Amino acid sequence: MFRTGITFIALLLGTLVFGGTVLVAQLLGVKQGPDSIYEKCPRWWAWWLLRAAGVHVVLHGDDGLAKGAPRVYIANHVSWFDIPSLIEVLPHYGFVAKRELEKIPIFGAAARGVGVIYIDRENRKAAFGAYEEAAKNIAQGNPVLVYPEGTRGATYALRPFKKGPFVLAIASQAPIVPVVIHGTIEVNPRDEFRASPGTVHVHLLAPIPTDGLTYADREVLADTVRERMAACLSTIYGVTPSMIAGEGRGPRAEPLSAPASS
């Protein structure tokens, strides 16, 4: 409980200080750009929170880390600690996040200031409008990270992927970088108010191109990305393949021709 208390205090203070800094920068008209306060504050916030929790993040592979290059990072989602862990090791990027997070005092407004795009999951039309905004940002060289499962899972077995993120990638014609995160459940399980020290592993798999793909390719693209991530979880961490396979989706689609994952 001591570590949990320290982490909670660090979260409150870090959000107040670094989130407040972003809001003040916006009020003063500070411009976005490489190495600006809008890039530094999220990284400082993540560093502060992870150190308070006693969490060490290890990055495996760097194929998708070209700074300033259009990218759509697609990651599994199992813990709230996925957020600071990925902020620490990936270049500055925007999130596509559920609109409920915007209601969190200071955090919600500051997150929008550093590039978070909120979507209303109950409003399909509004959600796709948010994806259009994200596609424009990506085309301008601003990477975006999306959790295609939608919400956090209780285990590392992948759940069905929503198609919106893949429509986004196709619209931007940006490569998808599949991201597998492992270890954050042990740090902070879903629906539990605790934080434990630990090591988090982040695997960047080989980028999957979307050049020339259309809206009709979205399901095959989603299946390809999901299979790559499932193979990583199975090979390295022993997540049972039968738990990862598409639930009730019928015959598996043939994967797109793309570089093998690393």
Instruction: Name the helix (H) or strand (E) containing 112.
Output: helix 107-113
pTM above 0.75, yes or no: yes
Q: Which one-letter DSSP state was computed for residue 17?
A: I
Fold topology of 55-244? Glycerol-3-phosphate (1)-acyltransferase (3.40.1130)
Q: Domain ranges in the chain?
A: 55-244
- Which residues are CB-contacts of 15 (< 8 A; sequence separation ≥ 6)? 45, 106, 107, 110
Instruction: Name the helix (H) or strand (E) containing 172.
Output: helix 164-172
d(CA 91, CA 171): 22
d(CA 31, CA 220): 39
**Which tens digit of pLDDT belongs to each residue from 72-115?**
999 999 999 999 999 999 888 877 777 777 788 888 788 877 87
**Which tens digit of pLDDT belongs to each residue from 193-249?**
889 999 999 999 999 999 999 999 999 999 999 999 999 999 999 997 544 444 434
d(CA 197, CA 252): 39
Nearest to 222 by CA among 210, 234, 211: 210
Token pair, residue 223, equals 């299946």
d(CA 146, CA 77): 9
**Which tens digit of pLDDT belongs to each residue from 34-84?**
789 989 999 999 999 999 999 999 999 876 676 667 889 999 999 999 999
Token pair, residue 239, equals 């997540």
211: helix, strand or coil: coil
